[in-house]
Amino acid sequence: MRKIDFHTLGPLIALIALVVLGASLNSAFLAPANITNVLARSAFIGMIAVGMTFVITAGGLDLSVGSMAAFLAGITIIAMNVLVPNLGTHWGTILIGMGVAVLGGLAAGYLNGALVTKARIEPFIVTLGTMGIFRSLVTWLADGGTLSLDYALRTLYRPVYYGGIGWITWPIICFALVALLGEWMMRHSRFGRHVEAIGSNDRVARYSAIDVNRVRLLTYVLLGLLVGLAVVLYVPRLGSASGSTGVLWELEAIAAVIIGGTALKGGRGRVWGTVMGVLILSLIDNILNLANLVSPYLNGAIQGVIIVLAVVLQREKHAAGER
Amino acid sequence: MKRRSLMQGAAVAGLLAMTWGSAALAQEGEKTVIGVAIPSATHGFMGGLNWHAQDTIKRLGAAYPNLEFVLSTSGDSAKQVNDIEDMMATRDIDALVVLPFESEPLTAPVKAVKDAGKFVTVVDRGLSQEGIEDLYVAGDNTAFGRVAGEYFKANLKPGAKIVVLRGIPTTLDNERVEAFQKALDGSEIEILDMQHGNWNRDDAFNVMQDYLAKYPQIDAVWAADDDMAVGVLEAIAAANRQDQMWVIGGAGMKEIVKRIMEGDKQLPVNVTYPPALISSAIEMTALHFVSNAPMTGRFIIGSQLITPENAEKFYYPDSPF
């Protein structure tokens, strides 16, 4: 039993080790401003990764989330820019914009889910396709350039990313709420148990009278919703979207999920682990920037090593726990 | 390698004006097909370049009815090679204007076009073998770094501390950064840090936040690209340190040029690296076919300093960049 506990705690231990490393390398690391920065910038990938945990646990995969985020940011900005002359610069316009992002996310997630469950196409292929579609659409909408939010509206919207309660900014609060809810859903709700059951063995799940397709579809819709929420927080940060928004977010989210101990083949989901995975990835970036440890050319290599190492360590512990 | 400008900007402008009127002189009969192969609009600068390419093609197509253009945009080198092969096989092009996605993989395919007796114009990124192209049109990366470096040297006190954001690791980025460092030689300006922001707003935002956390004193930032400058400015605003440092971007994005025009203290100047250089390349290639003006050699477009006084000249409100 104690070994299994240790396995669950693995990502947490890695995270603590990184924090200690960061603090010993640079005193600015533990300053509230730096902590706020790191947590807030983790929030986008973090919320997406929580949704991704459900999709992967149910045996699926979604490669389209980065492009989807860029596309949703694009239509959100366009919607708000169109509405400004009619509705004026106030929170109503922003709320409609947020609505566009969230509804767009639900629709995009439904599209992925329906293609996987109703048209019975492999999730890898479906989302590889929609990844290209969303990315091209945002480039087309932006005419190859950048879509920028109306300046006055942006000034009003800005506090949604930068404001908050003291140094705990809204993205951090949203990320925390999403993580808590996600953990609760995975551990204690019927939906979460169904997701794990389908991921371990969908045939058995079907014989147990679980509506497999409906649950799978819902995981993609949930992920779409969370991408929409991430966009609501992303747009006020820079007030712009372009073809290069959200590039590789899907892989970062998948990496975070795997580092956190969720099995890529499905059946075992760990939302807390995912949160740790996201923080680990952001901290590596942050520490490399703060510390000048290695040539910046090698940042990607360091991240790669840590991702592989995290998974290798977990595999061994996991195997030991099962024995 | 030493670059010589065989033709000066002014001379070309004059030529263009002269040949404008003689458009009707273009020979009757068969159409001349010009293929244009450029990378797709994946970031701000390339978006601007795509816009200028389309705009120029539309304009030239109307001015010279016997010229026909084929435009292809590609997301990677392999696709660009395919596009060029398709142009040769199916459209029988007479000339190729190419901005190579990468130098090495494109060298052999472009050489094949040249060996087939076509007129070849290479834009911005040189091929890895010399003497293939008839015409080479490029921005000046060394000057891009040098002009920025000279501004820092002239406008900062000795002992000032600056940070630098680099682009995607490429030769082009190295040339710029080396020239920048060389321009700062002999001054007592200290470069605190140089990290890669990958010409991306979000990456630059993150890197700048970390710089701000790490260094209590920063007097100026060389963002080296206007997309990165946008992310940098946002990070500075979030840390409430707008009054402590100014930022120099590069390439002349319209929003940034507008702020320089308005005399923004945070953005005193900018250095050009015009995406419209593709227009120069297409126009000159077209002129090769419709005029007697010699259009071979190397044409290097200098990098200029955009100041509040001359900013209006560099402001293209219709371009997406």
Mean confidence (pLDDT) of chain A = 88
Inspect the interface and report whether the beta carbons of B238 and A245 lie closer than 8 Å: no
User: pLDDT above 70 covers what percent of chain A?
Assistant: 94
Mutate to test the interface with A, among B52, B165, B193, B210 (most CBs of A within 10 A): B210
The CATH number linked to A162 is: 1.10.3470
- List the alpha helices (DSSP H) in B158-275: 171-184, 201-214, 226-238, 254-261
Using CA coordinates, name the residue in chain B closest to A243: B42
What is the distance in angstroms between the Cα of A244 and the nearest Cα belonging to chain B? 6
Is residue A103 exposed (0-12), middle (13-18) or buried (19+ Cβ within 10 Å)? middle
Mean pLDDT of A186-194: 94
Mean pLDDT of A252-265: 89
Domain containing A169 equals 6-322
CB-CB: which of B166, B200, B209 is closest to A244? Answer: B200
- Which chain B residues have a beta carbon less than 8 Å from that of A296? 166, 194-196
Q: Answer whether A22's CB lies under 8 Å from A37's CB.
A: no
B169 shares contact with chain A (CB less than 8 Å): yes
- pLDDT band for B274, please (50, 70, 90 cuts): confident
Per-position DSSP letters for A235-292, written without gaps between them: HHHHSEEETTTTTTHHHHHHHHHHHTT--TTSS---HHHHHHHHHHHHHHHHHHHHH-
Inspect the interface and report whether the beta carbons of B47 and A243 lie closer than 8 Å: yes
What is the distance in angstroms between the Cα of A289 and the nearest Cα belonging to chain B? 6
- Residue B19, pLDDT > 50, answer no
What confidence score (pLDDT) does residue A44 get? 92
Inspect the interface and report whether the beta carbons of B213 and A237 lie closer than 8 Å: no
What three-state secondary structure class fits B194?
Answer: strand
Cα torsion for B179, B182, B187, B190, to the nearest 10°? 70
Q: In what order do the strands lie in the sheet with B161-166?
A: B190-196, B161-166, B220-222, B246-248
Inspect the interface and report whether the beta carbons of B230 and A240 lie closer than 8 Å: yes
What three-state secondary structure class fits A201?
Answer: coil
Inspect the interface and report whether the beta carbons of A143 and B231 lie closer than 8 Å: no
What lies within 8 Å, CB to CB, of B201 at 6+ separation is A238, A240, A242, A244, A245, B227, B228, B230, B231
Inspect the interface and report whether the beta carbons of B210 and A245 lie closer than 8 Å: no
- Which chain B residues have a beta carbon less than 8 Å from that of A285? 206
- Residue B21, pLDDT > 70, answer no
Q: Which of residues 78-107 of B touch A (CB under 8 A)?
A: none
Per mean pLDDT, which of A218-227, B7-16, B167-176 is the most reliable? A218-227
A85 shares contact with chain B (CB less than 8 Å): no
B196 shares contact with chain A (CB less than 8 Å): yes
B116 shares contact with chain A (CB less than 8 Å): no
What confidence score (pLDDT) does residue B15 get? 47
- pLDDT band for A317, please (50, 70, 90 cuts): low
Q: What is the ipTM of this complex?
A: 0.70
What confidence score (pLDDT) does residue B46 get? 83
What confidence score (pLDDT) does residue B129 get? 78
What confidence score (pLDDT) does residue A316 get? 58
B168 shares contact with chain A (CB less than 8 Å): no
Mean confidence (pLDDT) of chain B = 84
Inspect the interface and report whether the beta carbons of B46 and A31 lie closer than 8 Å: no
Overall domain count for chain A: 1
- Which chain A residues have a beta carbon less than 8 Å from that of B41? 139, 143-145, 243
CB-CB: which of A240, A290, A299 is closest to B214? Answer: A290
Inspect the interface and report whether the beta carbons of A144 and B50 lie closer than 8 Å: yes
Measured CA to CA in angstroms, residue A316 lies from A1, A3, A15, A310, B240 at distances of 15, 11, 19, 10, 47
What confidence score (pLDDT) does residue A6 get? 54
Inspect the interface and report whether the beta carbons of B320 and A148 lie closer than 8 Å: no
A240 shares contact with chain B (CB less than 8 Å): yes
CA distance B219 to B163: 8
What confidence score (pLDDT) does residue B3 get? 44
What three-state secondary structure class fits B275?
Answer: coil
What confidence score (pLDDT) does residue A299 get? 76
Sign of CA dihedral A23, A27, A31, A33: negative
- pLDDT band for B20, please (50, 70, 90 cuts): very low
- Does A47 fall in a domain? yes
Residue A66 CA, distance from chain mean position: 9
- Does A1 fall in a domain? no
Inspect the interface and report whether the beta carbons of B213 and A28 lie closer than 8 Å: yes
- Residue B290, pLDDT > 60, answer yes
**B36 conformational bin, left if phi > 0, alpha if psi -120 to 50, beta if neither:** beta
**What would the two tokens of residue B226 be?**
């206007």
Q: Answer whether B179's CB lies under 8 Å from B185's CB.
A: no
What is the distance in angstroms between the Cα of B316 and the nearest Cα belonging to chain A? 13
Please, what's the largest Cα pairwise distance for chain B? 69
- Does A208 fall in a domain? yes
Mean pLDDT of A128-138: 94
Read off the pLDDT of residues B294-309 as tens digits, 9 standing for 90 and up.
888 888 888 888 998 8
- pLDDT band for A88, please (50, 70, 90 cuts): confident
B238 shares contact with chain A (CB less than 8 Å): yes
What three-state secondary structure class fits B120?
Answer: strand
Position A187, amino acid = R
Q: In what order do the strands lie in the sheet with B32-39?
A: B67-74, B32-39, B95-98, B119-123, B135-139, B297-301
Q: What are the residues facing B193 on neighbouring strands?
A: B163
- Which chain A residues have a beta carbon less than 8 Å from that of B194? 296
What confidence score (pLDDT) does residue B263 get? 87
User: pLDDT above 70 covers what percent of chain B?
Assistant: 91
- Does A139 fall in a domain? yes
Inspect the interface and report whether the beta carbons of A289 and B210 lie closer than 8 Å: yes
B51 shares contact with chain A (CB less than 8 Å): yes
CB-CB: which of B195, B227, B255 is closest to A289? Answer: B195
Of residues A132 and B170, the one with the higher pLDDT is: A132
Mean pLDDT of A154-160: 89
Element housing A45 (H / E) = helix A32-57
A42 shares contact with chain B (CB less than 8 Å): no
Inspect the interface and report whether the beta carbons of A237 and B230 lie closer than 8 Å: no
